Structure 1
């Protein structure tokens, strides 16, 4: 069993690692503000917790290289009840509201999806396939 938190499923709780990379052209303060906004929106969902990624390095399989400039968080959520779908939809909606080149990757059980400059239809198809893989629907 791998030891990183992204792969643990215990007591019906799944840990999803989100790596948030704001547009590189933004100043660091604006990027941090956008990252806090997304974390806040996720915290409003029916998730168990949203916490910074521990250990100072981005987890294996997650896209991104610098956890100090990228917001890396672990979202613990129930393995059932549609919370995972709501999480992915929240990230997709957040990306859609911003015209800059932000990037968010989600990693669950070593499977990573990266959302960025795809068209809305391409992003929808990609997200739908990812959700099906992790919810069995």
Structure 2
């Protein structure tokens, strides 16, 4: 099993692992930040993906009171070899961000290539996402 440092690449069976790290709006408390991350994870699970799991980050430090919101928002998504699912995944994240009034930020990493999705105009975001998806589709 991969840990979150190495997640975000190809698996032995030709699937692609995508690491999503959700940085919740810093104005939210831990519980309020966790709810939208759970909704995003549920929306991703409804897609035609092979699996969705929390990224392994190891044990919590001694004295920690619960998970760090950023760590709690680390998700590994395994995509099958068939095309189109990456586009659907990124569109789902983009739509989730657009529906939220909070200032969440999501980083998407594949094979060490990371894109950060947050506050950008719709046009800027679309151009960045399209270029990123093209780099990782079909190959």
TM over 0.5: yes
Gaps of 5+ in 1: 58-66
> 1:69 corresponds to which residue?
69
> 2:18 corresponds to which residue?
16
Gaps of 5+ in 2: 60-66
Is residue 85–residue 131 contact of structure 1 (8 Å, CA) maintained in 2? Answer: yes
The structure having more radius of gyration, on CA atoms, is 2
Equivalent residue runs for 1:1-137 within 5 Å: 4-56=6-58, 68-70=68-70, 71-136=73-138
Root-mean-square deviation (Å): 1.9
Give the TM-score taking structure 1 as reference length: 0.85
> 1:62 corresponds to which residue?
none
Gap change, CA 1:68 and 1:85, over 3 Å in 2: same
Aligned residues: 126
Structure 1 runs (4+) greater than 3 angstroms displaced: none
